[in-house]
Structure 1
Amino acid sequence: MPKPLTYSQMVEVFTRFRDDCAEPKGELDHVNAFTLVVAVALSAQATDKGVNRATVELFKVADTPQKMLDLGEEAVIEHIRTIGLYRNKAKNVIKLSRILVDEFGGEVPSSRAALESLPGVGRKTANVVLNMWFGHPAQAVDTHIFRIGNRAGIAPGKDVVAVERAVEDRVPVEFQQHAHHWLILHGRYTCKARNPDCAHCLINDICTFEDKTI
């Protein structure tokens, strides 16, 4: 495991990310908190682009929990059948919509525990919603962040929870709000798993990755 970056190095890393993109955005299309929950839940083992293609028409007709219930599971399946595990995901979308209507008055709750009580919503999904919709500095650790956290020495950890804690503990407060988006985008487009583009990396002089391609 690489040696963790120092505090001053962390400040420099995230200053560069901020200078490059001051307001990073998630790439899942949504129109409100509910459609964000659904989109993130559908994105498990799927690409954001694939989810966006599947939900563009779905969200036109079902952008609230009640509308999703009225649409029904079979119709949801027809909209999302291009996404992996679409049948199970459609069941979860209907189940979480029912819970939101029956237990939360049709509104998406703003607590992690409540979000995680919804079918198909795990810790990562809950953190994405808390960060993107409610403005909490929650850190949603996906494969990109797990990889970069360990590879670059930014947030080393043996599992996603450990990396999440490391991001929370080690990233300076001023960068917490956008930290997970910067890291996801960096992992998606630059620090890729198989062919990292180290030559065009903003932090290649700081990163501790031993197998740099530069």
Structure 2
Amino acid sequence: MDVPLHETLDGQVALVTGANRGLGARIAAELDDLGAVVYAGVRNPEYDAPGDQRALELDVTDEEAIRAAISCIEVEADRLDVLVNNAAISDPSGSTLLDESVSDIDAVLETNLRGPMVLTKFALPLLLRNPGGRVVNVSSGMGALGEEMTGGAPAYRVSKTGLNGLTAYLHGEYHTDGLLANSACPGWVRTDMGGESAPRSVEEGAATPVWLARFAPDAPGGRFWRDREVVDW
């Protein structure tokens, strides 16, 4: 799809959660290459961020950690142009709702859905400060309502359905204020979560989220994308 894009992200600021490995690390690296000041949100305070990235201690399940991270960005950069909600965990392999523990359900929903929602809440004042702030929610086809939801991972699937709901809400509530919120399905990617048998490389998985992070004002929002094409929710 032909959409208006920022050719570079010079002068812009991005926050990527779960940026220490896999998709998050690749997305952060590419945004860094595009010229953005990239805050790499990680739980490990000892993380050594590569390139010009700035490591930012951030546990998306901890409200105080979220508040502190956004405050740090405001003090240091005084703006936030891109928020990539990437941090996620999955259910135990092969689990179904019948056999999954409540503690596992709680952990997945807290990380994958509550975390992005609370982080976005506190990031909104900065994202709305300049026209064209972007929220990129890294979702999954496993959460698409039009797909057959079978094969386990109940909490993961429902969390990604909810994340798409967050995207739709953000678009409905804030697009007139200039916010561009979109969801991205990276596909089945060879990461620690996806496993070695996944057919897609990290580079392929990161391509659409990075593309969405480049959206300029007047680009479309409130949509679910895979390989730079709109797909059904």
TM-score by length of structure 1 reads 0.25
Structure number with the higher strand fraction is: 2
